[in-house]
Amino acid sequence: MSDKYQGFTSTPVGRILVRNLGLPDPTRLERWTEGAPLVDGTVLVGGSGRLAESLPSLLGTLGVTVTTVAPEEGRLKGLVLDATGLTSSSELVALRQFFTPVLRRLATCGRVVVLGTPPELVRGAERVAQRALEGFTRSLGKEVGHGSTVQLVHVADGAESGVASTLAFLLSPKSAYVSGQVVRIGAHGVTDVPVVATPEDLVAPLAGRVALVTGASRGIGEQIARVLHRDGARVVGVDVPQAASELQALMKELDGDWLTLDITGKDAPQRIAHHLRSKHGGVDVVVHNAGITRDRKLANMDDARWESVVAVNLTAPELITRELLEQDLVRDHGAIVGVASIAGIAGNVGQTNYAASKAGVIGLVDSLADELAEQGRGITVNAVAPGFIVTQMTAAVPFATREVGQRLNAMAQGGLPVDVAETIAWYAHPASSLVNGNVVRVCGQMMLGA
């Protein structure tokens, strides 16, 4: 679905109105396509922290062109600063010294990544300095414009070997609609678990793996299934019986498997577990995507609206996850991913039921991250929190509401289902074993509330 406003702003008349009235001017975002390079341009690397020395060779193994000295002319596609060495507030000037001379040379849809240390893992003046990085990156994300993104990656001491998949995602067009986010690597005590070696097939890192996706027949779920299949996974799609024909058609196209049931049914967790054990011997990636809305202000909310939303969006993922873990069906270095929502972080009028359920998904991540880390099997749990994603559902939203929803972010546009799917594929990557307990917003960096 095309963005008609974005099309209008590219016309001669639209350009005049944007310039004279200060209207939002969204940049057409670059998204990754099969066969394209991971990063189409040069990345400047700087800093003097724990990762500085290894970053050029690490990025080189990903096929990224790297320089440690800013060239005198030309555009830069990415800027990466290792700020793990900053131990006091007076040293924060290094941020200005690195970025200010080169920011104007950042290419359209460029990428900025700052590497730091989880503040909760250090003390005193160092904690102060490392916590300051979050305010810096979130603000810079709202300044850079032109479709560019800014992220902060906190890397625990000892987890340096686990940054490759995260840098690959954040520096590439796969993270087109992700900005102003904080990612933690190794912050949940999983640094003793060896990171899965880089897959032999870089094009299909999930080859030989099984991925369960609920709500897979359409919308965001369909794109999740497609992207995981693209990356080599055997997808098992789950959806309600009413969506059976769509689900079966998609899974046949992707050479996948399917199961139709109501995930809120009493025996649903057991049926899913039995299917995965008998047909696939287990599962490597579990994506809880199925979700519904039943909006109404709380004063007018009836039991059915409340209970159905919580049951589908939260209770079912809880019970299914617990069943799969108790039956030991999630294989080592597996990934569990919940689909939360910006509504669960910032709230939304008329969505107390929905927001509660999606905040609960974040709670599920919080409750399981340390538990899984303590098992020492490299199983991770993370969540994505989509903002305004353009789907058939949002197309039915009244025009004025839809336009406001799309423009109130740093990119002044809505995201696409593939943006959510790419984020989940990063979580599912075999080399993301130290990415645990994260909630990443796929929202173009919302201007308000989150």
Q: Phi and psi (nearest 5°) for 176?
A: -55, -40
Give the chain's end-to-end CA distance (angstroms, integer).
26
Instruction: Let me know how long the chain is.
Output: 450
* Tokens describing residue 82: 């290792």
Q: Please state, in angstroms and rounded to a whole number, the distance separating the CA atoms of residues 354 and 302.
A: 13
Q: Please state, in angstroms and rounded to a whole number, the distance separating the CA atoms of residues 103 and 333.
A: 38
* Residue 177 known to be catalytic: no
447 class by beta-carbon count within 10 Å (0-12 exposed, 13-18 middle, 19+ buried): middle
CA distances from 113 to 136, 153, 177, 383 (A): 11, 7, 15, 20
Helix axes 316-326, 268-280, angle to 10 degrees: 40
Amino acid, res. 257: D
Q: Are 426 and 174 in contact (CB under 8 A)?
A: yes
The three-state DSSP-derived secondary structure of 395-432 is: HCCCHHHHHHHHHCECCCCCECHHHHHHHHHHHHCHHH
User: 401-424 burial string, b = 16+ CB within 10 Å, else e?
Assistant: ebbebbbbbbbbbbbbbbbbbbbb
| CB-based contacts of 266-272 (< 8 A; 24+ apart in sequence) | 268/316, 268/319, 268/320, 269/319, 269/320, 269/322, 269/323, 269/324, 270/323, 272/212, 272/238, 272/320, 272/323, 272/324
Q: Are 404 and 349 in contact (CB under 8 A)?
A: no
93 class by beta-carbon count within 10 Å (0-12 exposed, 13-18 middle, 19+ buried): exposed
* Tokens describing residue 52: 């500085």
State whether residue 55 is helix, strand or coil: helix
Neighbours of 255 (CB within 10 A): 9
Of the candidates 5, 177, 354, 427, the residue annotated as catalytic is 354
Give the residue numbers annotated as catalytic, written as ranges: 354
